[in-house]
Structure 1
Amino acid sequence: MNNHLLALGDFSQETLRSLIDRAIALKAERKRGVRHQVLAGRTICLLFEKPSTRTRVSFEAAMYGLGGQVIFMSAKESQLGRGEPLKDTARVLSRYVDAIVVRTFGQHVVEELARYATVPVINALTDLYHPCQVLSDLMTVLEMKKTLDGVKCVWIGDGNNMANAWIEAASIFGFPLTLACPAGFGPDETILAKARARSPLPIVVLRDPAEAIRGAEAVSVDVWASMGQEAEQEQRLGLFRDYQLDAALLAKAGREAIVLHCLPAHRGEEVTDEVLEGPQSVIFEQAENKMHIHAAILEHFILKGKAA
């Protein structure tokens, strides 16, 4: 039984859809003033080597909203920053908390923690995957389009951790996905090949964003230089210039397309202020949905771990 969330590819469509459906239900209940205490007496540890605003606050708000408690630790506040073996950290924290939520650089970090932990380990971002974020993105698409079946999703920009997670999602849910990435900045080839073998519909990687965006119903963008790539910022500005989502490029998708951005956004770089503030942008609904999907994830994995 898999009681860790490290990558979307580890799960069936049924399991992931149940998380999204639960998040939608929790969101509706919250708006009606319904509050749950299903995780009362439970504690999670947020172990973050990378800083965050939305991911940290949404996980904390989700856990508190379910009656639980949160311990936050940055790398400098933990033994990770002093070279303690991950297997030791995993086994110690497992005796203190009910789940470990990790935001780090290498995917190997969450994998090794999961190997030794006896509580759920949840990937809140690595350089390879960002599964929780893409689940909240899919939740937003489902809310706006009422289905995921056949919805053409488009990714424009760097083939980063978000692109990799979108590729996995497309292969699991079976929706068509097109990515437009500059040469040399495409998604992980191993992830792409595995997803294509699994997917019933095409997963296409193009160079031309104008070609990629035609017929899109959901368009996703992200910053051109992620955390840890700051030294490449100036170089990437030149290489990615033609991949900016502006009004002219968005018009090729049509008026019904929605715009997604996981934030923070560099307005005037990967996307214009006009697009982000325009009627097709759903970025703040998307940001709110992080909290609801995180609540569904915490509820599912912590209670599932108890049952196990």
Structure 2
Amino acid sequence: MNHFAKRSLLKEIDFTPSELTYLIDFAIHLKQLKQQHIPHHYLQGKNIALLFEKTSTRTRSAFTVAAVDLGAHPEFLGKNDIQFGKKESTADTAKVLGAMFDGIEYRGFAQDTVEQLAQYSGVPVWNGLTDQWHPTQMIADFMTLKEHFGHLQGLTLTYVGDGRNNMGNSLLVTAALLGVNIHIGAPAALQPSADVVAMAKAAAAKSGSEVLITADPEEAVAGADALYTDVWISMGEDVAPQERIKQLLPYQINANLVAKTGKADTIIMHCLPAYHDKNTVVGQALEDEFGVTALEITDDVFNSEQAVVFQEAENRLHSIKAIMAATLGDLFIPDQLFD
């Protein structure tokens, strides 16, 4: 019996709170096994296709190492290796890959692409990021929160910045599902869509989570156990940088905003990469052109003891491993554990 057998992870709302909680707890368990050098080859002999229409550091690394740790063989297929609908339809590609591989990861743009891969491949498909959702990041993020605080229910998580991107959407819905109070601080033009807010509020009504969407950054961060942000311009987004910087500078996580939480032990989260200094080509260019040394988060906060960003990054590995093992491994996971 395996409750998760052959299921795809395409977006968070497809899973119940108890199912998401199982994946988080299983990820914590697998992290302990790895730290103790205990083998866990749940996917021995399996072949995993890693489809990357968008580049990646953490997602590609995590899926590759997770597959190897589980005994599987990962095969990377980038934007120059596969058609992604250009010369071959996504449905046809899915049927071919499903006949050759046991599972498929996709990281790219359209949610419809990952949905079609799942529909036509006949094997589990895992969403490594689309423009709308980032579910593998969520298992890592809420795993990090649970490791730090020992529980999730009743915590308050604040996300500030661009609230209508994949991270804003996913954090809003996942927190609401898991009973975590979720505050989104973003200008009106960059707040989550009405559809996503409605999903979150429906989930929050069942879990007891409080949902707050506000354009006031100080109201957003008040009482936060964790502050979260992401890049202000998403990969492939066509937007004037100066306009976006001016729009979002009030939502920068800096010492002043952290102090506005009213708590001394608020942790700082970021899914990375982060523009917290000028030690990148992009960071240097931003300083040269706009006179800013940091964007969404300042260097002092990013490197503070309150920041858990690198623990969070490592947890991408363990959480992705849990997702793949649960859905593709021959595990005994009784249905009775889930509501």
- With the length of structure 1 as denominator, give the TM-score of the two structures: 0.96
Structure 2 counterpart of 1:152, from 150, 156, 166: 156
Task: Provide the residue aligned with 2:200 in structure 1.
Answer: 195
2:216 to 204, 208, 228: 208
Structure 1: which amino acid aligns with 2:223?
G
Question: Out of 2, 26, 46, which is 1:42 matched to?
Answer: 46
User: 1:261 maps to which residue?
Assistant: 270
8 Å CA contact 1:126–1:161 kept in 2: the answer is yes
- 2:304 matched to which residue of 1? 278
Q: 1:182 aligns with which of 183, 187, 204?
A: 187
1:83 corresponds in structure 2 to 87
Equivalent residue runs for 1:232-243 within 5 Å: 232-243=240-251
Q: Is the 8 A contact 1:3 1:305 kept in 2?
A: no
Alignment of 1:1-308 (within 5 A): 3-80=7-84, 82-159=86-163, 160-199=165-204, 200-253=208-261, 254-267=263-276, 268-303=294-329
Q: Distance in 1 between matches of 2:238 and 2:318?
A: 31
Paired amino acid for 1:288? E
CA contact (8 A) 1:225 1:232 kept: no
Q: Do the aligned partners of 1:13 and 1:172 also contact (CA within 8 Å) in 2?
A: yes
Q: CA deviation at 1:304?
A: 6.0
Partners of 1:97 and 1:136 in 2: CA distance: 25
For 2:212, what is the secondary structure of its paired residue?
A: strand
Q: Structure 1 unaligned runs (5+)?
A: none
- Over 3 Å counting, the alpha-carbon distance change for 1:306 and 1:94 in structure 2 is farther
- Residue 245 of structure 1 and its aligned partner are, at CA, apart by 0.3
Letter in 1 for 2:215: R
Q: 2:214 & 2:60 partners in 1: Cα distance?
A: 34
One-letter identity of the residue aligned with 1:242: P
Alignment: residue pair count: 307
Report the AA paired with residue 273 of structure 2: P
Q: Normalized against structure 2, the TM-score is what?
A: 0.87
Q: Is the deviation greater in 101-110 or in 200-209?
A: 200-209
C-alpha RMSD over aligned residues: 1.7
Amino acid at match of 2:153: D
Q: Which ranges in structure 2 are unaligned for 5 or more consecutive residues?
A: 277-293, 334-339
Deviates most, 231-240 or 183-192: 231-240
Q: Is the 8 A contact 2:33 2:40 kept in 1?
A: no
Paired residue type of 1:168:
V
The one-letter code sitting in structure 1 at the alignment partner of 2:72 is G
Report which stretch shifted further, 12-21 or 223-232: 223-232
Measured against aligned partners, the alpha-carbon deviations of 1:219-276 in whole angstroms (never above 9, x if no partner) come to 1100000101154323211111111100111112222111000000011100000001
**In the aligned structure 1, how far is the partner of 2:51 from the partner of 2:188?**
34
SS for the counterpart of 1:154 is: strand
Aligned-partner Cα distance in 2 for 1:73–1:240: 35
**CA positional deviation for 1:82:** 3.2
Identity of aligned residues (%): 39
Deviation at residue 79 of structure 1 after TM alignment? 2.2
Give the letter for the 1:223 counterpart. Answer: V
CA distance in 2, matches of 1:83, 1:108: 17
Contact 2:42 2:330 in 1 (8 A): no
Deviation, 1:277, is 0.4
